[in-house]
Chains A and B, each alone.
Chain A
Amino acid sequence: MSDVPVPLTPTIRPATPADLDAIIALDQEMTGMSKPDYWRGVFDRFGNGSEGCILVASDGDRFVGFIVGEVRAWEFGSPPCGWVFALGVPQDVRLRGVGSLLFDGLCERFRQAGVKTIRTMLARDALLIMSFFRSQGMVGGPFIQLEKELAG
């Protein structure tokens, strides 16, 4: 039989400026790229909760994850919906329910904002995170992303 990891029950709360370094470090660990200016910009836009939402997970004193989302309306003709555009959980605590709690927390924020759909976009080879979102009940939506390489 498979071993089932023991679930963690971290506190889920809005991010504060003190969380920014941990978010930057975790993103660098996951993507292999350091993007401090980008994350400071995200925090400036979303950290006060006016445009979007950054939630973090803390297990005691330890930072164990973050999620970033935003309600967007009428882009691509879509009625208002909640977008998840970043999620991170340290590798050593994955499969212990932290991502699910962060996702649930963001869904609740979106519900309070009056939206009924949550949406994300992923690299098609990012199978781990795609599996996670599918495990949360997400399925292929009504939009298809298209692109073209620009010559010159």
Chain B
Amino acid sequence: MNLQMATRHALFAILELAAQPDRQVAAAEIAEKYGISLNHLSKVLRTLGRLGLVEAVRGVGGGYRFVGNARRVTLLDIIGAFETVGTPAASHREPGDDTAEGRALRSVMEEIDILTRATLSSITVETMLKMIRRSQWNAPPAA
């Protein structure tokens, strides 16, 4: 599964902000860390703001902060706000879907989709932060 650019930006932004709950983080700081476009990131942050996941703090020292519940917001919540996860709904028909081959193929793809959704919806922001911390501890020291 490949994530679209906006989705990756959103995930990076949420993880960066949720890791520093007591601080407002400037969009430019996030963009620089991940090597992503500030313009694109700003649009993504506005979307996350409309979803009630981040809040913009204006003025000197302003920036963004995470205002969701890190123990409840899942990867699927974030990814699903930017792209469709899995194959289109069953009501969306494609050529060949009504053949035996098409039905068998759809059955396999649906099995994959179900596992994907179960995985993404069982991983919260807090769990991701724990995984990141473990990854940092296990990383070899910089040369």
Partner of B127 from the list A1, A2, A131 (CB cut-off 8 Å) is A131
- Tell me if B107 is interfacial: C-beta within 8 Å of chain A: no
Segment of A20-28, A48-56, A105-113, A133-141 in the binding face: A133-141
- Tell me if A130 is interfacial: C-beta within 8 Å of chain B: yes
* CB closest residue in chain A, given B115: A124
Segment of B4-12, B43-51, B64-72, B93-101 in the binding face: B64-72
Instruction: Give a binary string over B105-143; 1 marks a CB under 8 Å from any A CB, 0 the rest.
Output: 000000000110011011110110011001000000000
CA distance A111 to B82 in the complex (A): 43
- Tell me if A125 is interfacial: C-beta within 8 Å of chain B: yes
Instruction: Tell me which residues across on chain B come within 8 A of A125, comparing CB atoms.
Output: 118
Instruction: Tell me which residues across on chain B come within 8 A of A134, comparing CB atoms.
Output: 122-124, 127
CA distance A127 to B67 in the complex (A): 23
CA distance A135 to B134 in the complex (A): 12
Partner of B71 from the list A1, A95, A127, A140 (CB cut-off 8 Å) is A95
CA distance A130 to B131 in the complex (A): 15
Q: How many A-B residue pairs have CB under 8 A?
A: 34
Instruction: Tell me which residues across on chain A come within 8 A of B119, comparing CB atoms.
Output: 140
Partner of A137 from the list B21, B68, B72, B134 (CB cut-off 8 Å) is B134
CA distance A10 to B131 in the complex (A): 26
CA distance A140 to B115 in the complex (A): 11
Q: How large is the interface on A (under 10, 10 to 19, 20 to 34, 35 or more residues)?
A: 10 to 19
Instruction: Tell me which residues across on chain B come within 8 A of A130, comparing CB atoms.
Output: 118, 122
Within 8 A of B (CB), among A100-152: 124-125, 127, 130-131, 134-135, 137, 140
Measured CB to CB, the closest approach of chain B to A95, in angstroms, equals 7
CA distance A124 to B72 in the complex (A): 18
CA distance A133 to B119 in the complex (A): 12
CA distance A89 to B74 in the complex (A): 22
Give 23 pairs: A residue, B residue, CB < 8 Å, sorted on A: A1-B21, A2-B69, A2-B71, A2-B72, A95-B71, A124-B114, A124-B115, A124-B118, A125-B118, A127-B118, A127-B122, A130-B118, A131-B74, A131-B122, A131-B123, A131-B127, A134-B124, A134-B127, A135-B126, A135-B130, A137-B131, A137-B134, A140-B119
Q: B residues bordering A, Cβ < 8 Å?
A: 21, 67-72, 74, 114-115, 118-119, 121-124, 126-127, 130-131, 134
